[in-house]
Structure 1
């Protein structure tokens, strides 16, 4: 992932920490993890809107809406790594991605 994305999410994390300075750090971390769930819910809502399965709303979203919401999940997750105090979130994520890919790709070959 582009390091400028990590720099931008570090800026976002710092901004959010300043804005929530009145909340104890452990609570800020917990709330930030919950924010990932909120963003996922918005992605799920957009997907339901694309499929038109809500009788009350019908087709209310586009695939572009789904894409935007999934991007919000990714941004929020990146910000979360910063706000959890991970020393080098970019390296930690890259390491985790390599491990996850190795597990998945290895199991596919079996």
Structure 2
């Protein structure tokens, strides 16, 4: 997990170094990027089901997995760009979510 956060923080620094915006404007752009990625995972799922009459079966479920990873990475980069300790914030939130919703969960499906 340590390498994951090194990569996430490096991506955030790279994006920040190329941005003309500052502070909350950078965060807002990253939020919009997150929404864009969420749209791409939705498009891939529709394509995997063949539910777009113009495109048919345009995607695979592996495409959906890849797009879901893009959503996750983009969300973690948003946390990193917002400052503080993104790893701590994410892990604390994950623990709180599990404490609230994870009782009785024995394994991944």
State if a TM-score over 0.5 links the two structures.
Answer: yes
Alignment: residue pair count: 105
Q: Which stretch of the first structure deviates more once superposed, 24-33 or 10-19?
A: 24-33
Instruction: Provide the C-alpha distance between the structure 2 equivalents of 1:84 and 1:34, rounded to a whole number of angstroms.
Output: 14
| Residue of 37, 40, 56 corresponding to 1:39 | 37
Per the TM alignment, residue 15 of structure 1 is displaced from its structure 2 partner at its CA by: 0.3
Indicate the residue corresponding to 2:98 in structure 1: 101
Instruction: Provide the C-alpha distance between the structure 2 equivalents of 1:80 and 1:27, rounded to a whole number of angstroms.
Output: 12
Per the TM alignment, residue 26 of structure 1 is displaced from its structure 2 partner at its CA by: 1.6
Which blocks of at least 5 consecutive residues in structure 1 are unaligned?
A: none
Within-5 A mapping of 1:12-91: 12-20=11-19, 22-85=20-83, 87-91=84-88
Per the TM alignment, residue 107 of structure 1 is displaced from its structure 2 partner at its CA by: 8.7
CA contact (8 A) 1:3 1:90 kept: no
* Deviation readout 1:63-97 (Å, 9 max, x if unpaired): 11000000000110110001111x11111111100
* Deviation readout 1:28-74 (Å, 9 max, x if unpaired): 11110111111010000000000001000000000110000000001
Indicate the residue corresponding to 1:9 in structure 2: 8
- Given the two structures, how large is their TM-score scaled by the length of structure 2? 0.91
